[in-house]
A and B are shown apart, each in its own frame.
Chain A
Amino acid sequence: MTERKIRVLIAKPGLDGHDRGAKVVARALRDDGMEVIYTGLRQTPEMIAEAALQEDVDAVGLSILSGAHNALVPKIVDNIRANGQTDVVIFLGGIIPEDDIPALLEKGVFKIYGPGTDTRQVCSDIRSAVKTKAQA
């Protein structure tokens, strides 16, 4: 049998209008053989959780440049978990100050990627995290 396809939602919460980073990650994941659902700009936490539910994704990648991560990310995590998707891997990309990182990880964010991250690293992280959860 061929291996199950990994499905990843890439979403852009908040109001900033830049999705270049999100698109770069989306392409990298695709080139790594994953199926990437891209939802576009200005998504509310409810919209992101709803899309994750309908698409039954293994992972959700959030790209936040606006600085609103402390407000948005906990809401998104809670909404996704409240829908019953308790094992979805949630990762974050963008400009996140060092000081904010521990609380976000505490909240259940799997990894946080700053500018200049090697996308190959992201791909292999997601792959192994999804694999671990599937075996759990």
Chain B
Amino acid sequence: MSSELIHSLRKGNRLALSRVLSQVEDGTKASQAILEKLFRATGSAHKIGITGPPGSGKSTLVNGLARELRRREPQLKVAIIAVDPSSPFTGGAILGDRVRMLDLQGDNQIFIRSMASRGALGGLAEQTEGLSQVFDAAGYGFILIETVGAGQSEVDVVNLAHTTIVVDTPGMGDDIQSIKAGILEIADILVVNKADRPGADQSAAHLRNMVEMGYAADYSAGKHLLSGSLSASTGVVTPAGWIPPVLKTIASEFQGISELSDAVLAHAAYLRQSGQWHAKDEAAIRANIRRLVTAELIGEFRQTVPAELMEALVIKVQQRELAPNEAVRELLAYNRINSLKSSE
């Protein structure tokens, strides 16, 4: 059944694509085999991450960007993966990003898939990477990935995307930047959306300042040679590499979307010319393998080590007969012996 699905998917059948996405999202047994087959056909999509605080306009920007990219590169299909948080209490979720993407409905070369985070931290879901591989193998040239937008530690997307867009809005407090320094560092493109609101120029100037400071620090460490103007609207390529542009947009009015598309395409060109595309791909693969190994080991551990042993050790630790580390050693020793047995 799965080889039939793969065949239909590769031929452009969207129901087959949708069903494969579900298999992968649910992490079914079949999905591993499917991903293994499909992986060989991946590697050509330009993956673009969009992150930023809730309500900053990520979905609206994705709507505009997808429409513009389709206009610029009509031969390329666009996939959108929009991740929203699951409720930690019920495991349910309301996924509302499509409400902002109604302009894309008439175009059957665009495929939007909503995804619940299902308890994963870091702004993506466990299987966002898997879904992006499926779209890639299905021939989607652009894959836009909207993160949860919790605002804090949304850095997983850099491991996945070639180009990361960080969105902020004006007036979210002048001094307390809503974008933390850590998240600024992951940006390839910075966007001040809702530029129709007061304070947009100050916010843009402030972000530009922070970008400059970041690169000035590199400069003083003697790493890079800096030239070029930071106020340029598309990214500036210097011997130091790509310097993120700061763009103002009014996503709800499609303003600034053309410039944003310029920057996205310029960044892709820069990545390819500089060899960074290859390096990012390698880093993404390394991060993905690490993640999969971790998940696999934890799964094996859960299957092998009985809950009773865990419980018994918890009691011993609580009675101060054992330190936590000693309990861990015991659990791992048990796992080592018994997981070998079960795999023989």
> What is A's interface to B at a CB cutoff of 8 Å?
4-5, 7, 26-27, 29-40, 47, 50-51, 53-56, 83-85
In the complex, which of the residues A32, A54, A83 contacts B90, with contact meaning CB atoms closer than 8 Å? A32
Q: Tell me the complex Cα distance, A50–B96, Å.
A: 16
- By a CB distance below 8 angstroms, the chain B residues around A7 are 22
- By a CB distance below 8 angstroms, the chain B residues around A39 are 98-99
Q: Tell me the complex Cα distance, A83–B18, Å.
A: 11
Question: Can you identify 28 A-B contacts, CB atoms within 8 angstroms?
Answer: A4-B26, A26-B94, A29-B92, A30-B90, A31-B92, A33-B90, A34-B92, A35-B86, A35-B92, A35-B93, A36-B92, A36-B94, A37-B98, A38-B96, A38-B98, A39-B99, A40-B96, A40-B98, A40-B99, A51-B98, A51-B105, A53-B18, A54-B14, A54-B112, A55-B18, A55-B114, A56-B21, A85-B15
Once A4-B26, A47-B105, A51-B98 are accepted as A-B contacts, the answer to whether A37 and B18 lie under 8 Å apart by CB is no
Q: Tell me the complex Cα distance, A40–B99, Å.
A: 5
Q: Tell me the complex Cα distance, A34–B88, Å.
A: 12
In the complex, which of the residues A27, A31, A40, A53 contacts B14, with contact meaning CB atoms closer than 8 Å? A53
- By a CB distance below 8 angstroms, the chain B residues around A34 are 92
Residue B208 is within 8 A (CB to CB) of chain A in the complex:
no
Q: Tell me the complex Cα distance, A84–B148, Å.
A: 31
- By a CB distance below 8 angstroms, the chain A residues around B108 are 50
- By a CB distance below 8 angstroms, the chain A residues around B113 are 54-55
Interface of B is mostly: mixed
- By a CB distance below 8 angstroms, the chain B residues around A30 are 87, 90, 92-94
Contact A53 B15 (CB under 8 A): yes
Residue B91 is within 8 A (CB to CB) of chain A in the complex:
yes
- By a CB distance below 8 angstroms, the chain B residues around A54 are 14, 18, 111-113
Residue B278 is within 8 A (CB to CB) of chain A in the complex:
no
Shortest Cβ-Cβ A-B pairs, 7 listed = A30-B92, A40-B99, A56-B18, A56-B22, A33-B92, A84-B15, A38-B96
CB distance from A32 to the nearest CB of B (A): 6
11 additional contacts, CB 8 Å, given A4-B26, A30-B92, A34-B92?
A27-B94, A30-B90, A32-B92, A35-B116, A36-B93, A38-B98, A39-B99, A40-B99, A53-B15, A54-B113, A56-B22
Interface of A is mostly: mixed
CB distance from B144 to the nearest CB of A (A): 14
Residue B118 is within 8 A (CB to CB) of chain A in the complex:
yes
Q: Tell me the complex Cα distance, A53–B13, Å.
A: 11
Residue B221 is within 8 A (CB to CB) of chain A in the complex:
no
Residue B102 is within 8 A (CB to CB) of chain A in the complex:
yes
Residue B11 is within 8 A (CB to CB) of chain A in the complex:
no
Contact B90 A31 (CB under 8 A): yes
Indicate the member of A7, A33, A39, A54 with the most B CB atoms within 10 Å. A54
Interface 1/0s, chain B 75-99, versus A by CB < 8 A?
Answer: 0000000000011001111111011
Q: Tell me the complex Cα distance, A84–B16, Å.
A: 10
Q: Tell me the complex Cα distance, A47–B22, Å.
A: 20
Contact B98 A5 (CB under 8 A): no
Q: Tell me the complex Cα distance, A33–B116, Å.
A: 11
Q: Tell me the complex Cα distance, A24–B112, Å.
A: 24
Indicate the member of B92, B96, B98, B118 with the most A CB atoms within 10 Å. B92
Q: Tell me the complex Cα distance, A40–B21, Å.
A: 23
